[in-house]
Amino acid sequence: MKKRYITLLCTPLLFASCLRKPIEFPKNDPKQLQSNYRLRDLSALQPAEGKPVSITDSFIVHCLVRADDSSGNFYNQLILEDSTAGIAMLLNANSLYTRFPENASVYLLLNGLYLGNNHGTLQLGSTPVADNKGILQVSDIPAAQIDAHIVTAADQIDISLQEVSIRQLKDSPGIYCNRIVQLSDVEWLNPLKDEYFAPDGNPGNTTLSDCRGDTITVRTSNYASFHAQNTPAGHGMLKGIFSVYNTVGQLILRHASDLDMTAVRCDGSSGAIATEISIAALRNFYKGKDTVLPALSIRGVVTSDEAHQNFGTGNIVLQQDNKGITVYFGSAAGDLPDMGDSVSINITGATLTSYNGLLEIKNITTAKVKTCAQNISVTPITVTIKELNDHFTEYESVLIKTENARVAGGGKYSGNKTLSDASGSIILYTSSSATFANETIPSISKTFRGIATPYGSTKELKIRYPAIDVY
């Protein structure tokens, strides 16, 4: 069964309302109907939670349909708005859009309906029934009774679309609840990480942000026709229905066409869809000076290991086939992908730079990383130390292994050690911050596995940790 998202009339303020005497109409003829009530005045009825109020007066509201069920993101309900407020009307019928499409002008005849308080907000419906917690809630209006309460109006009304900021929605939720709003300066906070509006089988919560850092949740049903579409990577405009549930504000889109988000993002990066390129091709972008990257993404397996702290804080090394690249997220970055994670990284707007001779990507956040799989094994390339030295640029940031090599005299791992085999020598470097820095290096020949990492003009090999790399 589809699940309904609660999109209700909020009541942070109470409005005085003069309850009028019943007005009787012989039939629901739109030419004979006349509005005598406003949606915001429903708050004056003040139903307590679990105690829906019966509406016995002949209240009539002239309003617009703001959202229907055509996209599947709203189910068994219409969102209706007049010039004062909006409300959700619960209806036990499908394909409501064929009778009451968006922007249709209708009369609501409230006599005989119930006004319920569901988690602190209001909704219109029929005879109350107990929910799964035993609390009375209004039920859907039966299909046979819909025509008695919604009548298509002969005349159209115009209600202006309200352009707001996320801050305004948070500061004054009661003004905008269940009304269509437009936000013109927003972007998805984590477009690559969120990727889809809602995954198959589950509703989705994604996060919208503006350039001042305010955020709001976008709620999407997994039945929405656009649930499997990617969240836009760019910046721009969004229209949606604002609602509040348990004091938390959220936006619900009506259609994917309510988005126009192709402009440059707050950080200056492109709103274009990122094109995936190989790590080998990415390395060719560097021409001796810092390069701000266009709309690109890369994919690979993390070969470095953050837990043992030999590759610096905020770094990962990513490898694809026989090419690697270092990505620096910043010293304060948390939640880095683990060794063996297969990841996709949106590098749009990031900078390709050389840091002490090491080619790396910087000016990027972990929000740009999407983990695709875990526990992926990368087979190291077997080389002699001479081959490693002679072709070091080709092996930079690549996992390699060299056999029958040893550090003469052993000692502790910490610092620069000379690793030699029959063909030559190279520096085996271990940071003093590494968890194994004070462990003893074997003094006999072993296989050493590590990542080729330059430091200035010095060619170095870094292991992840001895238990897996020295054997």
Contacts of 205 (CB under 8 A, 6+ apart): 217, 218, 219, 220, 250
Domains and CATH numbers, the chain: 39-152 (2.40.50), 165-263 (2.40.50), 275-364 (2.40.50.140), 381-469 (2.40.50.200)
DSSP string, 9-57: B--SS-----PPPP---SS--TTT------GGGGGGG-PBTTB-EE--S
**Residue 273 carries which DSSP code?**
P
Question: d(Cα 63, Cα 3) in Å, to the nearest integer?
Answer: 26
Using alpha carbons, list the distances in angstroms from residue 443 to 14, 288, 408: 81, 40, 6
What is the largest distance, in Å, between two alpha-carbon atoms of the chain?
105
Q: How many CB atoms lie within 10 A of CB 322?
A: 14
SS3 158: coil
Q: Element (H or E) spanning 122, and its range? A: strand 121-130
Q: And the tokens for 100?
A: 């009451």
Joined together, the tokens standing for residue 127 give 């005879």
User: Per residue of the chain (471 residues), what is the pLDDT tens digit?
Assistant: 444 444 444 544 333 333 333 434 435 677 789 999 999 999 888 888 899 999 999 999 999 999 999 999 999 999 999 999 999 999 999 999 999 999 999 999 999 999 988 876 789 999 999 999 999 999 999 999 999 999 999 888 889 899 999 999 999 998 999 999 999 999 998 776 667 899 777 889 999 999 999 999 999 999 999 998 888 888 999 999 999 888 889 999 999 889 988 888 888 876 666 789 999 999 999 999 999 888 899 999 999 999 999 998 999 999 999 999 999 999 888 789 999 999 999 898 899 999 999 999 999 988 889 999 999 999 999 999 999 999 999 999 999 999 999 998 889 999 999 999 999 999 999 999 999 999 999 999 999 999 999 999 999 999 999 999 999
CB 452 within 8 A of CB 423: no
> How far is Cα 337 from Cα 343, in angstroms, rounded to an integer?
8
Rounded to whole angstroms, the Cα distance separating 129 from 138 reads 6
Measured CA to CA, the distance from residue 416 to residue 376 in angstroms comes to 30
Residues facing 353 on adjacent strands: 360
